[in-house]
Structure 1
Amino acid sequence: MPTTTQDALSVHPDRLLPAEPGLRKVAREIYDSVKDLPIISPHGHVPAQWLADDVPFEDPTSLLITPDHYVNRLLHANGVSLADLGVGQKEFGDEQKRNAFRLLCANWKAYRGTPVKFWFESELADIFGITQAPSAHTADAIYDQIAEAIARPEFRPRALYKQFGIEFIATTDDPADDLRFHEKLVADSTWEGKVAPTFRPDKYLEPATAAWNGLVDRLGEVSGVDTGTYAGWVAAMENRRAFFKEHGAVSSDHSHRDARAEKLDDAEAERLYAKARNGEITPEEGDTLRRDFMFQQARMASEDGLVMTLHPAVYRNHHTESFEKYGADVGGDIPMSVEFTRALQPMLSAFGTHPNFQLVLFTIDETVYSRELAPLAGFYPSVYVGAPWWFIDEPDAIRRYRRAITGSGAGFGRTSGFIDDTRAFLSIPARHDMSRRLDAGYLAELVGENRLTMDEALDAAHDFVVTQPRKAFKL
């Protein structure tokens, strides 16, 4: 079938910049000043093994679709089975992979207006040189072009890391992980990049869950510390945090139903811990003990210097059947409202002015930006407001973020820099590019209103991309 105008893929050089011609010109100058700066990615989910082993990517579907819950969840909402996208499938043959790509392309209309469309089209055009828009009748041609490309050396993970201009990237890792792929990268004299682990202990802080006791047993095994008591749990956590820091970690990452962190007295903590180890703790008691565990993580952060990042209030695995069939992280997590001011008061009262403590607060509840997060960051030297991510790392929300936090107390200097938070390696440049374009547009508006000089806007744009992530994550 011949290609039509609708089939042509074109990414406009001024995409996401202001529509008004005068502001667009200013924004373009600001964007041009930062578009080629290095990518700093302090929180993400790209496996370290990809870079350690530098194994070629297998096929377009397992690279671009199956691991990317941003892509999968909207297809699922439009009637596509996750199994047909390769999610949770041990056996997924070549024809099934090709058919999954056909399903994506046939449903491409579903992504109109979403950031996924921006990221995916940027990947297709900028990385693979594809000139056809995804559709039912272009799917096979696009699949074949990508498959041919990823078979070449210049599309292997290490070559792409360099091509993308990545300066630093962090993975997300279980406390019991041996970090052998990070060790392999450090020992490899041919590797010139920087990949750091991130300490993610969530599962070990939820004592009312069925898996907790087994996890705590494993924590004791890898740390060499008896976790039969609360004091042992604390010592084991300190041991693993030290192990991660020795292997280059700069942060720990935490996500629970609420943001509360509050210390229990030692006797009560030991009592609840014993109930948990005996499988007798109630959900309410589990929340109480988890909040003490979080306080202990903050106390450890003030001592070992790992930056603490917090992104609470997500209803995990909302659809039980999908979780049981496909596992976690397949797009079934849904945002909830969250409160920070009262929840964080015990933690910040104890550590908020500690010179070694640093806390980056993320949210997918935008109502708290100007009411809570910006004022907290505008007072506590330890607090930074994290970039919009997950459900709100999209153009309109990113614009709202800047407007909500800047004048409400955070200014420009109390922010994290962009966070891509992705398993989709090839989308990283597009995600950071989107942020740079939107920030350029925001700064252009301030220049147009004579609230900033052009020199100040150019300096701020540089800070957003480079200075702030280095500062917020102690790089």
Structure 2
Amino acid sequence: MPDPILTTDLARELYAVARDLPLISPHGHVDPALLADDQPFGDPARLLIVPDHYVTRMLLSQGIPPDRLGVPRRDGGPVESDPRVIWRLLAANWHLFRGTPSRLWLEQTFRTVFEVETPLSRDTADEVYDAIAARLAEPGFRPRALFERFGIEVLATTESPTDDLARHAKLAADGWGGPGGRVITTFRPDDVVDLEREGWAGNVARMGELAGEDTGTYDGYLAALRSRRQAFIEAGATSSDHGHPTARTVALSPAEAALLYERGLRGEASAADAETFRGHMILEFARMSIDDGLVMQLHPGASRDYNGALFATHGRDVGGDIPQPTNYVHALRPLLEAYGMDPRLRVVLYTLDETAFSRELAPLAGGYPALFLGAPWWFLDTPDAMRRFREAVTDSAGFYNTAGFVDDTRAFCSIPVRHDVARRVDAAHLASLVAQDRLPFDEAAETMADLAYHLPKRIFKLEKGAHS
């Protein structure tokens, strides 16, 4: 067995290689208005608690409804509006987060972003709140100033084809956005692809208006998607993102796809129709990616809005989704048979089902040049799950069929913390290989820098002139 002290020392040396490298954030959900407008942040509660579904979900599990945490209701009904009351409620229940990544991220955010060393508790709630609020009032804590301080080189936000990209236009005008910019967009078409999505037909019509295409026909629908993809590319996008319930891909004829689309417009599509149409559109998007160069990201496996009561009161993205088992080998076969060997296609595949790490994902990524494995995300973006990921996939996929780290966050201030945690996990894994004489230290150091910086930059086409 390797000497634990030696392994720890090696991990520290490897971590030092990546510690100060710029941050590449190729997938996330930060609101672009934050950086476009560059207004001071609000109070600590609305910055760190209200939008964080990791936090509100845990408190809901202990009987504290989102209303008491200031999470807006769909019906516009009353919710707690006093930020100090919300903050005190979190502090009084801080023990619920022991051992969780939410606590790790928040405590490191307090210390490294806001320089607040006082541990959070019921007794220190006001002291910590006041210290963070004082920081937020300083010019150096406005969004763009923090962006610079965090060392972010590129930040990708995520928008629907129905978004007019006005915020990204402002960022481009200010020298922050557009191709090669520091803030870019990502094409996320789920709300115009999923026939079961609330408001799908209206979303499709809105997309058609923006694209100047008649979406009353399937051909017009495809033309609108291509047009909006081009608009996103002009706004700096280098990738698309697809958050389907499953990884199923289906090869339909244009006539078969048109029939499903027309059923959707008439409001007659069944659940089976919706699943088939989603699967077919993955192949359509692969064809579009081969033409326009966008990297495809597939995020399957979430049973969205599983908590129906929570969705009814507060809507999407407030902690009501649950992971489910996901098949990849058979589900992706039509896509991989058609395009898996095409060097023009690049697909980054994520999972919420870690039982698939070594059984399906690593062998697939190890066998197709178009396929790369995305970092553990959402319920798996924890130190232990990231370690298990490296241990499970490296045997078959190596390091260079993985796409580096993505923070996948809405919480802007947590970005440097999440990247730091990932770098520490990778350093520990590489150190164990060095200590076992399975990898020379100089190669481990090179791999460390690649995982933290060079791989995501290359795979997501964020190097200058890489998009084609």
> Aligned-pair distance for 1:369?
1.0
Q: Which amino acid aligns with 1:188?
A: D
Aligned pairs for 1:322-401 within 5 A = 322-401=310-389
Q: 1:124 aligns with which of 97, 110, 113?
A: 110
Shift in CA distance, 29/51, structure 1 to aligned 2, threshold 3 Å = same
1:84 and 1:96 in contact (8 A); partners too = no
| 1:201-240 → structure 2 map (5 Å cutoff) | 201-240=189-228
Of 414, 417, 429, which residue of structure 2 is paired with 1:427?
Answer: 414
Q: What is aligned with 2:128?
A: 142
Instruction: Give runs of aligned pairs for residues 76-475 of structure 1, distance below 5 A.
Output: 76-88=60-72, 96-189=82-175, 194-407=182-395, 409-475=396-462
**2: distance between equivalents of 1:263 and 1:388?**
28
The AA in structure 1 aligned to 2:379 is: F
CA distance in 2, matches of 1:337, 1:108: 31
Distance apart, 1:356 and its partner CA: 1.6
CA distance in 2, matches of 1:54, 1:61: 19
> CA 1:246/1:119 → structure 2, altered by over 3 Å: closer, same or farther?
same
Deviation at 1:193, TM superposition (A): 6.0
Q: Per-residue displacement from partner, 1:124-171 (whole Å, max 9, x unpaired)?
A: 111112121111110011111111110110000000000000000000
Tell me the CA shift for residue 461 of structure 1. Answer: 0.4
How many residue pairs end up in the alignment?
457
Which of 15, 32, 46 pairs up with 1:62? 46
Is the 8 Å Cα contact of residues 88 and 327 (structure 1) preserved in structure 2?
no
In 1, Cα distance between the equivalents of 2:113 and 2:198?
A: 44
Q: 1:336 to 1:95 in 2, by over 3 A?
A: closer
Map of 2:466 onto structure 1: none
Q: Measured at CA, do residues 462 and 92 of structure 1 come closer, stay the same or move farther in structure 2, by a change above 3 Å?
A: farther
What SS does the aligned partner of 1:169 have? strand
Instruction: Give 1:290 shift.
Output: 2.0
Tell me whether 390-399 or 190-199 shows the greater mean CA deviation. Answer: 190-199
Q: Secondary structure of the residue that 2:241 maps to in structure 1?
A: strand
Q: CA deviation at 1:234?
A: 0.9
**Distance in 2 between residues matched to 1:118 and 1:438, nearest whole Å:** 14
Q: Which amino acid aligns with 2:440?
A: T
Which residue of 1 is the match for residue 55 of structure 2? Answer: 71
The Cα offsets for residues 65-106 of structure 1, whole Å up to 9 and x where unpaired, read as 111111111111122110111111568899621111111111
Distance 1:427 1:210, change over 3 A: closer
Question: What amino acid is aligned across from residue 140 of structure 1 in structure 2?
Answer: D
Q: How many angstroms apart in 1 are the aligned matches of 2:176 and 2:445?
A: 36
Looking at structure 1, the residues matched to 318 and 254 of structure 2 have their Cα atoms a distance apart, in angstroms, of 39
Q: Is 1:418–1:464's contact at 8 Å kept on the other side of the alignment?
A: yes
1: CA distance, partners of 2:80 / 2:310: 24
Mean alpha-carbon deviation: is it higher for 461-470 or for 345-354? Answer: 345-354
* Residue 210 (structure 1) shift: 4.5
TM-score norm. by structure 2 comes to 0.95
- Could you tell me the percent identity over the aligned residues? 49
- Secondary structure of the equivalent of 1:342? coil
Q: Deviations over 1:328-367 (max 9, x none)?
A: 0001110000011111111111111222210000001001
Cα drift, residue 114 of structure 1: 1.0
Are the counterparts in 2 of residues 125 and 131 from structure 1 also a CA contact under 8 Å? Answer: yes
Checking the alignment, whether the CA contact within 8 Å between 2:247 and 2:331 is kept in structure 1 is yes
Distance, in Å, in 2 between the alignment partners of 1:272 and 1:457 is 51
Q: What amino acid maps onto 1:169 in structure 2? A: L
- Output the TM-score relative to the length of structure 1: 0.93
1-side partners of 2:197 and 2:352: how far apart? 24
Give the deviation of 1:209 after TM superposition.
Answer: 4.1
Is structure 2 residue 28 aligned with structure 1 residue 44? yes
SS at match of 1:252: strand
Measure, in 2, the Cα distance between the counterparts of 1:258 and 1:340.
9
SS in 1 for 2:369: coil
Alignment gaps of 5+ in structure 2: 463-468
Deviations along 1:177-231, one digit per CA (max 9) or x if unpaired, are 1111111111114889601101001121112445221111111111111111111
Matched residues in 2 for 1:300 and 1:428: separation? Answer: 31
Q: CA contact under 8 A between 1:67 and 1:423: conserved in structure 2?
A: yes
Q: Distance in 2 between matches of 1:30 and 1:419?
A: 20
2:413 alignment partner AA: L
- Tell me, in whole angstroms, the C-alpha distance in 1 between the residues paired with 2:379 and 2:430: 24
Maintained 8 Å contact 1:205/1:294: no
> Per the alignment, in what secondary structure is the counterpart of residue 316 of structure 2?
coil
Question: Over residues 382-437 of structure 1, what are the superposed CA-to-partner deviations in whole Å (9 max), with x where a residue is unaligned?
Answer: 11011111001101111100010000x21010111111000111111110000011
Superposed CA RMSD: 1.7
SS in 1 for 2:330: helix
Residue aligned with 1:421, SS: coil
- Contact 2:244/2:300, CA 8 A, preserved across alignment: yes
Partners of 1:287 and 1:147 in 2: CA distance: 47
Q: Which amino acid aligns with 2:108?
A: S
Query: What stretches of structure 1 of length at least 5 have no aligned partner?
Result: 1-17
189-198 vs 287-296, which moves further: 189-198
* Paired residue type of 1:106: A
Contact 1:106 1:134 in 2 (8 A): no
